[in-house]
A and B are shown apart, each in its own frame.
Chain A
Amino acid sequence: MKEVNKEVLVDAASRLLFSMEEREYDTLLEEFKILKIQMEKIGKIEGLDEYPPMTFPFPCEVDFLREDVPSKPLSRDEALRNAGSKQDNQIKLPKVVK
């Protein structure tokens, strides 16, 4: 496991595309301390590795697939009405450099 330190957290935040105030990192480090202790409680539980990681709360397999029939799309006005930066019926961004 990666060691939790400020550097790692700053990097994690920047990869999530936001920045945080300085003091928030201290709060975060405190929260990680608590989480670590709490996670240790999970560590104490026996036979955990016999269980596959669970995503769905109970077996819920279906045999359903959506028929390939198109529905009426959004009008362009609807599609774009919430976008704050637009031009020529498209969303406009500063030039994306590949």
Chain B
Amino acid sequence: MNFEAIIGLEIHVEQKTASKMFSSAPNSFSREPNTQVMPLDMAFPGTMPTVNKQAVINAIRVANALHMEIDHVLTFDRKNYFYSDLPKGFQITQQFHPIGRNGYVEVDTSLGKKRIGIERIHMEEDTCKQEHFLDYTLLDYNRAGVPLIEIVSLPEMSSGLEAREYAEAIRNIVVYTNTSDGKMEEGSLRCDCNISIRPIGQKEFGTKVEVKNINSFKNIELAVDYEIKRQSKLILSGSKVEQETRRWDESSSRTILMRKKTDAVDYKYFCEPNIAPIRLSDEFVNHAIETCPELYDSKKERYLSLGLTVSDAEIILSSKSLASYFESGLSSVKNAKSLANFLIVEINAYLNKNGKKIEDLQMKCPTLSEIVNMGEEDKLTHKQCVDILNRVLETNVSPKLAKEQLNIVSQASDDATILEFVTKVLDANPQSIIDFKAGKDRALGFLVGQIMKESKGKVNPAAASKLLKEEIAKR
């Protein structure tokens, strides 16, 4: 029997606004527990929610990036349940009128681009953070009330890879709309996967299993694929898939039962009476969209048009700070591809070696552009450019001064000068000529090396190599 998998994702992203969703408490990470709290966040009696403008702007931008219909009247609803991390005994969410409906996102699959439908996105608030110890739990309300956007896909994915690519596409959108850090490892993007399988050709859906606690994009893929296999085995062995919630266990790379789903919980939703409906004017919505920072896809397209490879563009865009560093050097650089190359290889190596982040770098990207331009204009070797770069990074001097300090002079590429060195080196190494003629290509490398040594690096190696071959042929 062959099965097809049906996968839907519910993604929660923490917004990085300055204040919380419904209170004006700072929305900033603090190691000091319970220091980022206003009365509402601990549900002190009589407190009332007020809606954060930036959180709405972010939601509009995400909805727009996901090609959704945007509701111009905001209302909120209460989701009523009791839990230790839920201060009010209800969560304020948008059950009945989500801000965005009916959208989609495109992901790359082996069969080309595929559209994954998105049912809804809505705004809600985070719960407080629980820290579990051996026999007790501590509560920190700093996280209580942090704005969330929930993005609910349609069940339209069919493999772990697709699920992962979908989640990454969502990540790219929330990161580049400046809505969220989108880091699964840190919990600012959380993903629950609903997975069911059915024999190919069957119309009815199979029993759905929810997998929680996935902490990286890679693990989305692993968890979904694991679950598909597990469910297939169950059915093939004559058992039934149970409706349940499982969690991904990273150490054993499998999903583990958390709880059986009995009756669905009745959240007794009703309209939040403490927030009067908010009318969003067309101007407001349009302005939020028009002022939205450039999105991932558009940046990628632009980078490709500048000559970057797909892989380079994706590496740069994988980190928003790397991308914004890159952007700041683009206007002055003559060869964007070289700039990307220096950034990805040399700068990254430097950062790794020194345990630094791109944000910590004193040297700004226009300086790197200057080095790249210098390399092109003065026909410096890659190594020379790297030497200059390292000098700049270490001593914070200008590229020009670094070049002077390193005694780097432009390479000779005029044939007359190079020929002098070529003749000299060939005369001194007759055996190498014989070797080369006998088919030992290595000999050529040796000879070029000798020329570089003689010339103290002032000769362009490519030009030297070309002349060498010509001269050897004459001998």
Q: Do chains A and B touch in the complex (CB under 8 A)?
A: yes
**Which A residues fall within an 8 A CB radius of B?**
15-17, 55-56, 60-71, 73-74, 76, 79-80, 87-96, 98
Q: List 13 A-B contacts (CB under 8 A).
A: A55-B270, A55-B273, A56-B273, A61-B277, A63-B280, A68-B18, A70-B25, A70-B27, A76-B32, A80-B34, A92-B137, A93-B138, A95-B135
Q: Digit string of B1-33 for contact with A (CB within 8 Å is 1, else 0)? A: 000000000000000011100001111100011
A55-B271, A87-B138, A92-B137 known; A67 vs B53 contact (CB < 8 Å): yes
Q: Does residue B394 face the partner (Cβ distance < 8 Å to A)?
A: no
Contact B133 A95 (CB under 8 A): yes
* Interface segment out of the listed B36-44, B153-161, B190-198, B306-314: B36-44
Query: Contacts A90-B138, A92-B139 given; 5 further ones with Cβ under 8 A?
Result: A60-B276, A61-B73, A61-B278, A69-B19, A90-B140
Q: How far is the CB of B147 from the nearest CB of chain A, in Å?
A: 9
Closest residue on chain B to residue A70 by CB atoms: B26
Contact B134 A95 (CB under 8 A): yes
Which listed residue, A71, A88, A96, touches B24 by the CB 8 Å rule?
Answer: A71
Q: Does residue B50 face the partner (Cβ distance < 8 Å to A)?
A: yes
> What 3 A-B pairs are tightest by C-beta distance, nearest first?
A68-B54, A65-B53, A70-B26
Q: How far is the CB of A97 from the nearest CB of chain B, in Å?
A: 9
Which listed residue, A55, A56, A70, A90, touches B33 by the CB 8 Å rule?
Answer: A90
Quick one: which of B230-275 are within 8 Å of A by CB? 258, 270-271, 273
Contact A61 B137 (CB under 8 A): no
Which listed residue, B18, B136, B271, B276, touches A62 by the CB 8 Å rule?
Answer: B276
Contact A91 B53 (CB under 8 A): no
Which listed residue, B17, B37, B134, B284, touches A74 by the CB 8 Å rule?
Answer: B37
Which listed residue, B32, B50, B84, B141, touches A93 by the CB 8 Å rule?
Answer: B84
Contact B53 A96 (CB under 8 A): no
A56-B276, A66-B53, A76-B35 known; A93 vs B26 contact (CB < 8 Å): no
Q: How far is the CB of B54 from the nearest CB of chain A, in Å?
A: 4
Interchain CA distance A56-B19 in the complex, whole Å? 27
